[in-house]
Amino acid sequence: GDSVTQMEGPVTLSEEAFLTINCTYTATGYPSLFWYVQYPGEGLQLLLKATKADDKGSNKGFEATYRKETTSFHLEKGSVQVSDSAVYFCARYSGGGADGLTFGKGTHLIIQP
């Protein structure tokens, strides 16, 4: 079935470091791709999305590019801050509403001052 694979965490970086969180998906059709972020004690919130190949989603300094050839949607940020510490979820949508939304297991990001 449809799946999303994320790098295992926790990922620990120093402030101002470059961030990459890898995400790959199974290539069934042409899914829409998403990154959600969960701050401590809160629910998930949409960070960015891309709906077709070569689209780039961006928000709050984060970017991710829909790469059909490598079935990837890696999340990047040039200079992380302590406030970026959170759990990041990659997700794909295949159709039919949220019952078609498949989440990865999440990557816990810790940014140290």
Partner 1 sequence: NAGVTQTPKFQVLKTGQSMTLQCAQDMNHNSMYWYRQDPGMGLRLIYYSASEGTTDKGEVPNGYNVSRLNKREFSLRLESAAPSQTSVYFCAGSVVHSYNSPLHFGNGTRLTVT
Applying CB under 8 A, the residues found at the interface with partner 1 are 32, 34, 36, 41-46, 49, 51, 89, 93, 95, 97-101, 103-106
To partner 1, the closest distance from the beta carbon of 69 in angstroms equals 22
To partner 1, the closest distance from the beta carbon of 77 in angstroms equals 20
> In terms of CB distance, is 97 or 113 closer to partner 1?
97
Tally: H helices and E strands in the chain: 0, 12
Which residue(s) pair with 88 in the sheet?
37, 107
98 Cβ contact list (under 8 Å, min separation 6):
none
To partner 1, the closest distance from the beta carbon of 79 in angstroms equals 26
> In terms of CB distance, is 69 or 99 closer to partner 1?
99
Is the separation of the CB atoms in 66 and 93 below 8 Å? no
78 Cβ contact list (under 8 Å, min separation 6):
18, 61
> In terms of CB distance, is 40 or 113 closer to partner 1?
40
> In terms of CB distance, is 61 or 95 closer to partner 1?
95
Tokens of 99: 């019952």
